[in-house]
Chain A
Amino acid sequence: MQRSGFRTVGARIVHVSVLVVFTILLAFPFYWMVIATFKQNIDLYTVENNPFTFNAKPTLDHLRLLFGETQFVRWLGNTALVGALVVVITLLLAVPGAYALARLTGRWGQRLGIGIFLTYLIPPTLLFIPLSRVVALLGLQDTIWSVVLVYPSMTIPFSIWLLMGFFKSIPKELEDAAMVDGLTRFGAFIRMVVPISISGILTVVIFSFTLVTQEFVYALTFISPESNQMVGVGIPIFLVRGDVYFWGSLMAACLITSVPIAVLYNLFLDRFIAGFTVGAVK
């Protein structure tokens, strides 16, 4: 009784410590953002002050500055618009494409699927230089349309991969039954498969949207004017005027933008992971 008792207690302490240490290390910067958002500048910029407490009264000044005197709201609008458009384009191209690979193409369909998945590995930092010229040539330089055009090239491969897995898990008999009942193959796709796959499609929507909000390289490269910029680039680049960082507003902006995206992403994480693991996890 003594022996196993100790082992359990010791193990529990280690278990809890590991969790506490990692949670603090990983979540701390966001806690910091919360505090900084509401701390007065005098408090923030006095080196001796304890950073974890409010040494002066909390303030809404940074938020006022952020929403009133910067283009933050405009960036949010830009990002939302681009996000929506990219989602639509992605769905239009990836849903039929994934279905084709899952159902209609047999062996080489599977290989193509993996090939498509691998294009996800081609990073923006490889293609951004030639793409910047393509964008300039098309006259889309400095507009949001540049990224509306380019982002789907990042969302489509992984979305096809995700949806392929999803469609494959739907029993073939459902479509066969629909076709026996009189629908064409394409009709069965639209009327049967798509409605059933709503959760997979939703995953693609969330994935595409969060990718747009997270992207940095292309937005930075293609878009210069402040008012047309995305929020992920606007905040680090334009909320910094010269050498002066408005840290309070900066942290506020980070917080406001990160949290909703984090929540959204979290809801669908299991699906993404399933897609990432390439079938290594059955």
Chain B
Amino acid sequence: MTNRQLGAVMFAPAVLFIILLIGFPFVLAVLYAFSDARIGSTGFHLVGLENFRSILQSPSFRKALQNSIVFTVCAQAIVIVCSTILSMALEKPFRARGLVRLLILLPWVAPVSLGTIGWKWILDSIYSVITWVLIWLHFYKPYSAPMWLGEPRLAMASVILVHCWRLIPFSTVIMLAGRSAIPKEIPEAASIDGAGFWRTLFHITIPMMTPIISVALLFGIVFTFTDMTVVYILTAGGPFDSTQTLPSLAFATGVQGSDLAAGAAISLFLVPVLVAVAYFMLRVAHRAEVV
């Protein structure tokens, strides 16, 4: 058999699998969004844009959409800045670097749900360690501590915090890889040309790292925007829907609330962002090939 035939045969099972378990469900999601499907009922009718109309009018949905965007943007901003700083600190070898790297990576490599549960207790209204430290530093009086997960604004900040906590290690490692790809002669040439630390950083190093920063950013956006685990475990969307995001709302509506159609419709709002991310990923990959 020819190479092409062999290639097709070796490749077919994987493609089939992906089509059946990703492609087909995706089509189904779209169908559900335009239907009146519910868990338990066997009827299935197409209802046009009815689902979209009703969810767009729902305040929970609007809040969830807003939250998804706000959480993602805030988290990415913090993550990119922190991981740039941290990657600079980790660049040059030093004695405990291996150990530090291991410790710094823990938030990313540990399962999402478990790290989040840890934070749930750290942010507990009564027993929070942070509260204890703040009281000890006399910023707060005892028993008057803020409700980290109970007060809407603080809850939102907490969700963003946990996302940042998870993503900073991931971004840092990607950035480190990016920095190591810059030949060491470039900053040396810049130094000889008269550039100081800041000029070299902003005019040479960071511009050269743009592809890698883009990759870290794009992945970070996907991980934050499409996550429901952190929200579900930390706040379950509360208090009063103030931390609900699109994925967590889709889960609450579609699985817990049995309204498959509405759930599917909500989750479809993830698609535009994913398409945009995919487009930019392709551009980064393409530009990288050219060099």
Direct A–B contact in the complex, CB atoms closer than 8 angstroms: yes
Task: Mark A residues whose CB is within 8 Å of B.
Answer: 15, 18-19, 22-23, 25-27, 29-30, 32-33, 36, 44-45, 47-48, 50-51, 92-94, 96-97, 99-101, 103-105, 109, 114, 116, 118-119, 121-134, 149-150, 152-153, 156-157, 160, 185-186, 210, 213-214, 216-217, 220-221, 232-233, 235-236, 245, 247, 250-251, 253-254, 257-258, 261-262, 265-266, 269-270, 273-274, 276-282
Cβ of B206 within 8 Å of any chain A Cβ, yes or no, is no
Task: Mark B residues whose CB is within 8 Å of A.
Answer: 3-4, 6-11, 13-15, 17-18, 21-22, 24-26, 28-29, 32, 37, 82, 85-86, 89-90, 100, 102-107, 109-119, 121-122, 126-127, 129, 132, 142-143, 165, 168-169, 173-174, 177-178, 180-181, 211-212, 214-215, 219, 222, 226-229, 232-233, 246-247, 250-251, 254-255, 260, 263-264, 267-268, 270-271, 274, 277-278, 281-282, 284-285, 288-289, 291
Set of chain B residues within 8 Å of A118, measured between Cβ atoms = 278, 281-282
The CA-CA distance from A92 to B22 in the complex, in Å, is 18
Chain B, interface SS category: helix
Task: Tell me the minimal C-beta distance from A58 to chain B in angstroms.
Answer: 18
User: B233, A130: Cβ atoms under 8 Å?
Assistant: no
Contacts A105-B11, A277-B178 supplied; 11 other A-B pairs, CB < 8 Å: A29-B118, A94-B14, A101-B7, A104-B11, A123-B247, A125-B228, A127-B26, A217-B229, A261-B109, A262-B105, A280-B285
Choose one: B121, B212, B270; the contact of A36 (CB below 8 Å).
Answer: B121
The CA-CA distance from A265 to B232 in the complex, in Å, is 25
Set of chain B residues within 8 Å of A233, measured between Cβ atoms = 113
Given contacts A125-B270, A130-B29, A130-B264, contact A97 B122 (CB under 8 A): no
Given contacts A23-B103, A232-B113, contact A125 B219 (CB under 8 A): no
Set of chain A residues within 8 Å of B222, measured between Cβ atoms = 121, 123
Task: Tell me the minimal C-beta distance from B13 to chain A in angstroms.
Answer: 5
Q: List 11 A-B contacts (CB under 8 A).
A: A22-B86, A99-B10, A109-B7, A125-B227, A125-B246, A126-B274, A186-B6, A254-B114, A254-B115, A254-B117, A258-B110
User: B10, A134: Cβ atoms under 8 Å?
Assistant: no
Task: Tell me the minimal C-beta distance from B203 to chain A in angstroms.
Answer: 20
Set of chain A residues within 8 Å of B260, measured between Cβ atoms = 129, 133
Set of chain A residues within 8 Å of B277, measured between Cβ atoms = 121
User: B129, A51: Cβ atoms under 8 Å?
Assistant: yes
Set of chain A residues within 8 Å of B169, measured between Cβ atoms = 26
User: B271, A126: Cβ atoms under 8 Å?
Assistant: yes
Choose one: A99, A130, A214; the contact of B25 (CB below 8 Å).
Answer: A130
Task: Tell me the minimal C-beta distance from B244 to chain A in angstroms.
Answer: 13
Set of chain B residues within 8 Å of A134, measured between Cβ atoms = 24-25, 28
Set of chain A residues within 8 Å of B227, measured between Cβ atoms = 125
User: A127, B10: Cβ atoms under 8 Å?
Assistant: no
Residue picked from B17, B113, B228, most chain A C-beta under 10 Å: B113
User: A274, B177: Cβ atoms under 8 Å?
Assistant: yes
Given contacts A125-B228, A130-B25, contact A236 B233 (CB under 8 A): yes
The CA-CA distance from A276 to B232 in the complex, in Å, is 27
The CA-CA distance from A162 to B47 in the complex, in Å, is 42
Residue picked from A94, A99, A153, A257, most chain B C-beta under 10 Å: A153
Task: Tell me the minimal C-beta distance from A235 to chain B in angstroms.
Answer: 6
The CA-CA distance from A104 to B5 in the complex, in Å, is 9
Task: Tell me the minimal C-beta distance from A201 to chain B in angstroms.
Answer: 15
> Please, which residue of chain B has its CB at the minimum distance from the CB of A30?
B106
User: A129, B264: Cβ atoms under 8 Å?
Assistant: yes
Task: Tell me the minimal C-beta distance from A220 to chain B in angstroms.
Answer: 8
User: A104, B7: Cβ atoms under 8 Å?
Assistant: yes
The CA-CA distance from A270 to B22 in the complex, in Å, is 28
User: B4, A105: Cβ atoms under 8 Å?
Assistant: yes
